[in-house]
Structure 1
């Protein structure tokens, strides 16, 4: 029984070390899979492909069947005028119709659907970029929380050990009670900081899962995000610029559609069946007919010209947004690279500061063990070290966030 108890205790103690380690790619893949917006864009593309098939079918042969039947009795001169009604009408006809259009007209209409799908493709790329930036930003924030939490846990453990040593030395009158209490305040502050950081980590970790559409609430270790500055395309080859190119092609295509709408339209039909008033030899009234319809626009109050003018206005608006994007693209990337260079230079200085502060703390802890340390100096050294480590974590996170912001434009 004791053996089983010790085995269970050992397993429970090992549970934290068995926590699953997740990477940034794990969350990115999960977020992409769960995104309803990406699924919506895919469904819209499928719907557009059906629209293309329907458009082609609409210019093929169309077959209709119809039947109109009428009986208007006239009793002793009472009833509808037989000159109008013929007394009865029996009609059952099958009609074959076809709308004739030029190949270029059809291709222009199909081109409009193709451009819609290209816009949806580009929107999907931009949506993935937006999603990855959001998830990466939250992952980096959560990873920074976790790193800070691990450091604070280790520091709190060390301070508790030193507080226990200082308590024994205070009881032996090596140090004053006020020295012990001053050090104990530092320990308690670190304990409170540990609790606060744990809450912050849990909150940010839950937010990360929420953004990815994950319902898993189990704790997990986060692997360091492997981020390097990616090679970026120039503005004219960016997916964010491509939308303006697609809009330009769409406006040109709409100009062509306006022109085709004012060209003559031709349709023809052939029908066959039964059509009779049942007055004379109704058994002979099976037959067929052929028809042709031509429609030519003549005057509509200059609406054609007005539609072209509206499209010209839309093109000017598009050019304004395109030029603004190009300027902002180059300016924003230059600013991000400048911030990244400054942050990396600052990190080098902070690392030197951390080494010096850590060395000073270690010296004071050695003096504490021999009873030669001044507790105020030790507390100041600890505060300086904690401040330097916090700065290191914050700027490490800032560096990763800047890289993520730069890589957002890599498509």
Structure 2
């Protein structure tokens, strides 16, 4: 029984240690540049806006298709009540619809005919609208391409901004690491100097000067720690990441992509704008 309780306590202790160290493993997970760029693209309001605009273009095209190709049915109906008060046969009674009374008070039956009822059903079917719909379809396709090109431009700008901020974080990280190494070496030098002062090899003032320098290194190290935290928080804010945990950033190797030289989204934007103007002119001419 005692061995069983001992094993049970060891299992509980093991689970406790594992749960305690799990957040440390999570925090220690390194994040790379691609992680932040993908997060920024996914959380960008401009990218999501252009995607929604493309969906609206498709919905508008479906609405135009319904207007141009499907029939429109209208139903109109009217009812006129002409109630009277009949006095036939020395009896007074109210009638919604006259039964042919000759002595009555109310609407003139020669005019109202006892009431009027009418109904009208009309159906309109647009004809020869195929060319018009094709023009709207071409306009919608150009608008989608414009939205996609805006997304590409926004993604390009996001890559620039996130990469710049990521490099600032790496710079602050390197400065922090170098400062920590210098702080460790300076602490070792202070210990050596204390030993030399005790042996009367150096003066007490030399030790005080070295201790002051060590304190300056400590302040500088705190400054680098703060710079790294602020740079990392700015990176999370730029990417739309709601996280305040300290993470280890991976080193990055930057290189020029050859596809950016061949294809330019800026030139594509000018070309699509010209196509949009031509499409608007065609739609305007089809109205007359």
Taking structure 1 as the reference length, the TM-score comes to 0.56
Q: Is the 8 A contact 2:27 2:246 kept in 1?
A: no
Give the match for residue 274 of structure 1: none
1:280-311 superposed Cα distances (whole Å, 9 cap, x missing partner): xxxxxxxxxxxxxxxxxxxxxxxxxxxxxxxx
Q: Is the 8 A contact 1:65 1:94 kept in 2?
A: yes
Give the match for residue 5 of structure 2: none
Q: Distance in 2 between matches of 1:80 and 1:107?
A: 58
Task: Map residues 153-302 of structure 1 onto 2, 5 A cutoff.
Answer: 153-231=180-258, 233-234=260-261, 237-262=263-288
Q: Distance in 2 between matches of 1:145 and 1:16?
A: 23
| Closer/same/farther in 2, CA of residues 111 and 177 from structure 1, 3 Å limit | same
Give the match for residue 89 of structure 2: none
| Closer/same/farther in 2, CA of residues 192 and 81 from structure 1, 3 Å limit | farther
1:14-52 superposed Cα distances (whole Å, 9 cap, x missing partner): x59971111111111222222333222222211211111
Q: Is the 8 A contact 1:152 1:190 kept in 2?
A: yes
Q: Distance in 2 between matches of 1:92 and 1:18?
A: 75
Q: Please report how far the alpha carbon of residue 198 of structure 1 lies from its aligned counterpart in structure 2 after TM superposition.
A: 0.5
If you compute each CA radius of gyration, which structure gives the higher value, 1 or 2?
2
| Closer/same/farther in 2, CA of residues 16 and 56 from structure 1, 3 Å limit | closer
1:51 and 2:60 aligned = yes
1:37 and 2:54 aligned = no
Give the match for residue 7 of structure 2: none
Give the match for residue 107 of structure 1: 134
Q: Select the structure with the greater relative contact order (CA < 8 A; seq sep ≥ 6).
A: 2
SS in 2 for 1:69: strand
Give the match for residue 176 of structure 2: 149
Q: Distance in 1 between matches of 2:119 and 2:228?
A: 77
Q: How many residues align?
A: 253
1:68 to 68, 77, 88: 77
SS in 1 for 2:122: strand
Q: Please report how far the alpha carbon of residue 125 of structure 1 lies from its aligned counterpart in structure 2 after TM superposition.
A: 0.8
Q: Distance in 1 between matches of 2:52 and 2:110?
A: 58
Q: Which runs of 5+ in 1 are unaligned?
A: 263-411
Q: Distance in 2 between matches of 1:259 and 1:46?
A: 27
Taking structure 2 as the reference length, the TM-score comes to 0.78
Give the match for residue 21 of structure 1: 30
Give the match for residue 94 of structure 2: none
Q: Is the 8 A contact 1:59 1:101 kept in 2?
A: no
Task: Map residues 253-402 of structure 1 onto 2, 5 A cutoff.
Answer: 253-262=279-288
1:355-375 superposed Cα distances (whole Å, 9 cap, x missing partner): xxxxxxxxxxxxxxxxxxxxx
Q: Distance in 1 between matches of 2:273 and 2:42?
A: 28
SS in 2 for 1:163: helix
Q: Please report how far the alpha carbon of residue 211 of structure 1 lies from its aligned counterpart in structure 2 after TM superposition.
A: 1.8
Query: What RMSD in Å do the two structures reach over aligned CA positions?
Result: 2.9
Q: Is the 8 A contact 1:209 1:215 kept in 2?
A: yes
Q: Distance in 2 between matches of 1:50 and 1:80?
A: 55
Structure 1 window deviating more from structure 2 (149-158 vs 166-175): it is: 166-175
